[in-house]
Amino acid sequence: MRPIEPNTPPNSPAWRVVHHPMMLLLLSVPMIFACAILSSAVGHILKASHTDAGGVAAAVIGAAIFFGAYWAFVRFVERRPVVEFAFRPALPELAIGIAGGIAILAAIVGVMALLGAYRVIGYNGPEILALPLAIGIFPGFSEEIALRALFFRLFERWLGSWAALVLSAFLFGFGHIFNPGATWVAAVGIAFEAGIMLAALYMITRRLWMAIGLHAAWNFAEGGIFGTPVSGLQVPGLLRPWIGGPELVTGGSFGPEASLPAMAVATTIGVALLYIAWRRGQFIAPSWVRRRQGPNPTTARS
């Protein structure tokens, strides 16, 4: 299949340079940093109220900042419709992603429980859910826009699906190495278990909704339901657990994402999703291969 191409005016060398995937990547980096800085500033202002609503509002506004910047980037720099955020399939794809994220975390925690590393010792009320909601909403939007909508998509258009998958998964894993309690095991785990799965969801749908829903629900369920650390952040959940045993089983202070159960469950699902994308012809060949193939290329399976 063909990648999502920018709308390059004919006979315009300047736009051809701007619309090269590497140039678009370079242009997107300062935009991402600006969104992160603005979101952080908004967060500091709203969290100064020391209310749960302030934290959730900061997450929603931060997500909106990333969404708005990406929309403007696509419309005015790439000069095309923002098909990655098509409105009609938004609710069903978000719902599928949310259900999938909760189910995957339940399976991971279930494996930990079977291995004697997790058991419930108490419960909390729903008033503790504000922080998990914020930790779900903001990274769900911001990281999927940065890593899948920009880095994966543009690397894929340039270097093909396989190279984009490796590079975006590496960036996703490396981006978590500075979190509290992070180790190289955690970074590699996230690269495999989430980097593959979330990119595969984008490849299957060519939209962001399902990946955003799964990413947000994963974070929310990890802390807000099961009470485990979320990428090194200690988050209270509806369940108050006892967690013990080898770090390879529990993930240690980083959380289940750094555990063997997460790597086994999520990576297996990610590989299965990749296979679905492959069967549906959603893999894209590198740009130089597509040029040789002409206007109606076969997929990267050829």
Which carries the bigger pLDDT value, residue 203 or residue 53? 203
Give the global pTM: 0.93
Where are the alpha helices (H) located in the chain, listed in sequence order? Answer: 13-18, 21-47, 52-72, 90-114, 130-144, 153-159, 161-174, 184-190, 196-205, 209-220, 247-250, 260-279, 287-293
| Domain parsing of the chain, residue ranges | 85-293
Mean per-residue pLDDT for 224-249? Answer: 94
Beta bridge partners of 233: 230
Q: In angstroms, rounded to a whole number, what is the distance separating the alpha carbons of residues 34 and 27?
A: 12
Dump pLDDT digits (tens) for 253-291. Answer: 999 999 999 999 999 999 999 999 999 999 999 999 998
The sign of the dihedral angle between the CA atoms of 155, 146, 191, 86 is: negative
In the structure, what pLDDT confidence band is assigned to residue 302 with cuts at 50, 70 and 90? very low
pLDDT for res 300: 41
SS3 239: strand
Here the tokens at position 99 are 């259900």
Mean per-residue pLDDT for 22-49? Answer: 92
Dump pLDDT digits (tens) for 214-229. Answer: 999 999 999 999 999 9
Dump pLDDT digits (tens) for 123-139. Answer: 999 999 999 999 999 99
The proportion of the chain whose per-residue pLDDT surpasses 90, expressed as a percent, equals: 83
